[in-house]
């Protein structure tokens, strides 16, 4: 077992090959869903680490990729609010962290995007005319986005309550 793997698992024995297979399988699922390959691999590696945080060097070693590849992936994941950067105490090195509520944060940030799309589509309805086929299609999309926003907000409240029951206050 590598020193990094021991540190990541709190000293417990881990099967590095099994972890690597999991990371690659989960990353492949993320790629199928539309994420680019390297950010998917980095995200999966962070999720699979016990600490939820790794340095660029640790990610590069685990994934057998260059620091530049890790940097680009982390930049993308940071923009998507899926990971955060933090400084190691007493060092210039950064650690990249995935949080236990990363899915909640990612969906919440998507809500803002859906709102912006809805606003733009409303303008399109006015521009195209609400009675034209294109205007009706855009109006239906706006109605769908409004529905999704309402459902998402209510679902997030229910999730917070459910999460606390399962895992305690977070």
Element holding 97 (H helix, E strand) = strand 94-97
pLDDT of residue 9: 45
Residues 143 and 158 placed together within one structural domain of the fold = yes
**Can you tell me the distance from the alpha carbon of 146 to that of 165, in angstroms, rounded to the nearest whole number?**
29
**Mean pLDDT score, 100-114:** 78
pLDDT of residue 141: 96
**Can you tell me the distance from the alpha carbon of 109 to that of 152, in angstroms, rounded to the nearest whole number?**
11
**Mean pLDDT score, 95-119:** 83
58 has a pLDDT exceeding 50: yes
Half-sphere exposure of 160 (CA within 13 A, CB side): 7
Element holding 54 (H helix, E strand) = strand 53-55
| pLDDT grade for 99, boundaries at 50, 70 and 90 | confident
pLDDT in tens, 5-51: 444 445 567 899 999 999 999 999 999 999 999 999 999 999 999 99
Residues 81 and 106 placed together within one structural domain of the fold = no
CATH number (domain holding residue 65): 1.10.10.10
CA terminus-to-terminus distance, the chain: 32
Cα dihedral: 103, 19, 63, 39 (round 10): -20
* Residue 157 belongs to domain spanning: 102-167
pLDDT of residue 6: 44
**Can you tell me the distance from the alpha carbon of 168 to that of 123, in angstroms, rounded to the nearest whole number?**
44
Least confident of 5-14, 136-145, 159-168: 5-14
Tokens of 48: 């699979």
pLDDT in tens, 86-95: 987 788 888 9
Largest Cα separation within the chain, whole Å, is: 66
pLDDT of residue 14: 83
Residues 90 and 136 placed together within one structural domain of the fold = no
Report yes or no on whether pTM surpasses 0.75.
no
Residues 90 and 148 placed together within one structural domain of the fold = no
- Percentage of the residues of the chain whose pLDDT score is greater than 70: 92
Residues 91 and 16 placed together within one structural domain of the fold = yes
The domain boundary, picked from 73, 97, 121, lies at: 97
Query: Given CA atoms 57, 60, 64, 68 in this order, what sign does their dihedral have?
Result: negative
Tokens 């990610």 appear where? 59
């Amino acid at each position: 077992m590598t020193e990094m793997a021991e540190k990541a698992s709190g000293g417990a024995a881990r099967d590095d090959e099994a972890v690597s297979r999991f990371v690659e399988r989960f990353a492949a699922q993320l790629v199928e869903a539309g994420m680019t390959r390297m950010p998917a691999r980095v995200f999966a590696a962070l999720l699979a680490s016990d600490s939820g945080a790794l340095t660029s060097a640790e990610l590069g070693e685990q994934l057998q990729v260059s620091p530049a590849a890790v940097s680009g992936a982390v930049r993308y994941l940071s923009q998507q609010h899926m990971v955060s950067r933090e400084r190691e105490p007493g060092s210039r090195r950064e650690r990249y962290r995935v949080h236990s509520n990363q899915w909640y944060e990612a969906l919440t940030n998507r809500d803002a995007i859906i709102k912006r799309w809805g606003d733009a589509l409303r303008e399109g309805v006015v521009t195209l005319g609400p009675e034209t086929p294109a205007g009706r299609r855009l109006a239906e999309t706006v109605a769908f986005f409004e529905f999704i926003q309402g459902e998402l907000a209510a679902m997030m409240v229910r999730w917070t309550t459910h999460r606390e029951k399962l895992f305690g206050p977070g």
